[in-house]
Amino acid sequence: MTDRQQRTIPKTGPEAREKRRDPNAPKKPRSAYTLFLKDHSEQVNREHAALSFRERSTILGQLWTEVGPAVQEECAQKAQDDRQRYDTEMKAYQAR
């Protein structure tokens, strides 16, 4: 079989039964780390525009480990708030 023929064969098994995400479902909650990335990635991208995505990600990971516990706790609190938002929206979504 050629590579092209393999792509046209319909999926069977667990892949075929894979559920599609409902677009009306609430978005998953973000973790403390992803909230930190959201806040700091633009600055790192501006300062290190010439670096690859992998190198910038490494810098962001180092920043996360180097920031004080106060910043990490702040992000953890935001993540907890986001989790509460998700739980509330999910209850409302499932009640429909």
pLDDT band at residue 1 under the 50/70/90 scheme: low
Mean pLDDT, residues 15-37: 88
Predicted local confidence at residue 6, as pLDDT: 57
Separation between Cα atoms, residue 19 and residue 15, nearest integer Å: 9
Higher pLDDT, 28 or 19: 28
31-35 contact pairs (CB < 8 A, 24+): 31/79, 32/72, 32/75, 32/76, 32/78, 32/79, 33/64, 33/75, 35/75, 35/78, 35/79, 35/82
The pTM assigned to this predicted structure is 0.73
Domain that holds residue 81: 30-95
Domain of 58, CATH number, reads 1.10.30.10
Question: Is 9 a residue whose pLDDT tops 80?
Answer: no
> Considering its fold, how many domains does the chain have in total?
1
| 80 part of a folded domain | yes
Question: Is 5 a residue whose pLDDT tops 60?
Answer: no
**Among residues 50, 45, 79, which one has the least CA distance to residue 63?**
45
Predicted local confidence at residue 15, as pLDDT: 66
